[in-house]
Structure 1
Amino acid sequence: MALTLTGLMLPAVFAGEAEAAQEAAADSEEYSHYVDVSVLSVWASPEAPRNMDAPALQNPVQPWQWTESMTAADKRGLLGNLDTQALYGMEVEVLEEEGNWAKIAVEEQQTPQHETGYPGWVPKEQITESPRFELLQHADTAQVTEPTAFLHEDRSLETKSLEISFNTRLPVVFETEDKLLVATPSDGNKWINAGDVTVYEDENAIPDPEASDLQATAEQFMNLPYLWAGTSGFGFDCSGFTHTIYKAHGITIPRDSKDQARSGTAVERSNLQKGDLVFFAYNGGAGEIHHVGMYLGDGRMIHSPNSDSTVEKVAISESEYAGSYHSARRYLN
């Protein structure tokens, strides 16, 4: 028995996925929730979004329309209102509900704020329960390696469906030499160019990176405009940038800079190596940590500076953070 899909014969195991999901549903009353938009913005409260944030509150979201419509001052207005972001297909835990909003914890983002993951509020329509998607979590994973990539409706990759971010991970349903069929949380299967992803059995199968791998990944985002709380190829804040670069290489570090500075291994400034994270603090480096970059050697770092700037490589001594160096941490073995 086989199922014909877009002119492709798929194994019977995929033809029976719906039945298997239904059987699983019969055995359980609760399912995991997954992000159902390309990039999910997680807010401090349901009242936090402004009128200009409407493109980030719908399903589907319009991330470029949203970020490109904001001035630097508008972006600075997200401080204290937008807490983090999560990517398409990421698992979240629903903590509570209030009208059309849900308070969630992003399970892949470590923080002392909640034991499950980074907490905050999102519109309910942007997350979904999906027995079938949950069932496929054991499958191989396609991880997006381009800054952004498109899912397509058709095998010929002519009809675009959804633009998704770097480091988005979706279950593989079928794989050919130049394209893959992947599962989505609520919109069935979609096609993606094989050149836009790397396929892994699971996160543990991601090869241990060299510092040069981290640098090459980070440099893909040169000149990408900063976005407070951003964790995607549509825009990063400083710690969202370092968190995501490491996460893409199979290394999970805390979400926020002050927490990243408490993990890993302490490194003296005189012993910095490529790939180390360097931290900056108020009061000439003696106060609270407020910024992080990734060291590139020769006194330089790559970072996502602030709402007036873009991802850049810069000599630390010539940057606006020159007088506020605090410490460094190493996460590579």
Structure 2
Amino acid sequence: MGKCVCMIAEFRGGNFRRVSFEVASEGKRIADALGIGLRGVAVGSGVAGKAAELGQYGVERVLVRDDPALEHYLAEIYVPVVAEMIKKCDPAVVILPASVDGRDLGARLGARLDITLVQDVTQVVCEGGKVKARWPIFGGKCFAWSEWADGTLPIMSCRPNVMDCLPPDTSKRAEVELADIPIPESRSRVKAVDMDSSGKVELSEADIIVSGGRGMKEASNFALVEELAKAMGAAVGASRAAVDAGWRPHSDQVGQTGKVVTPALYVAVGISGAIQHLAGMGYSRYIVAINKDPEAPIFSRADYGIVEDLFKFVPAFTEEVKRLKSTCS
């Protein structure tokens, strides 16, 4: 067995993404179960000054590669650098986020290091010194458990917003070690990044999501969804049908071909519930469906269903949310 559990953090825009703290927390639980330590790997531009923060979530030591060339994720640069850092850690388990970048990075690391990756893990169990991972298959219709053979290094990516995050212990700081690993030349470079400056919550990290579908009828009607989301402090999502119609950007798409989300509360407005959409949000903690068709498939997965014309119900619901929030404040 290796010397530690190695967690790979995701650093963007000068900060660690929340999913990094979730992965660190799960890594700590695995490390404790195996009786070994937890180390971190962090790459990025300006990451050295932030790396010690991972100690709040149980990381004892962080191996860091800080360079302006690592500001944006480029597989040609990240994969060889992270692969070498993993080797330096001599891990028993490697764990990383199943974010957009993390899925790509994990798959490439698995190929480069000749180790078996289990993607989009939702639960990890350690029994008798062995690690078992639970992950969705067949578009989320069922789950499989995977166990690595003796002598095989487990690597797994964890679905965002699923693993419980440990309460941060602000008194703890991780030891930071700078890695002197050469950065390879890349045939690609990032010329510009079109960032969303609206300040809205990233879908994959949102605790509450309000999504609209084909039942919204046209783009302008998404103002109803946006107003409800604002009242609830939620992110705005959309079904593939709404995105294909040009009503919402692809970044808002929830589903098998969009973003897989697991919020505490998912409100589906005018969404029938195609299997691709259910695969992307079906494991939300609570699901509320608003649709005038009582036979809509979304109701089979909903905890609460409202059979009503959304154009009548949503404005009234929004006003009630606002009233309750004003009463409680």
Establish whether TM, by shorter chain, passes 0.5. Answer: no
- Structure with a larger share of its residues in helix: 2
- Structure with a larger share of its residues in strand: 1
Q: TM-score, normalised by structure 1?
A: 0.29
Q: TM-score, normalised by structure 2?
A: 0.29
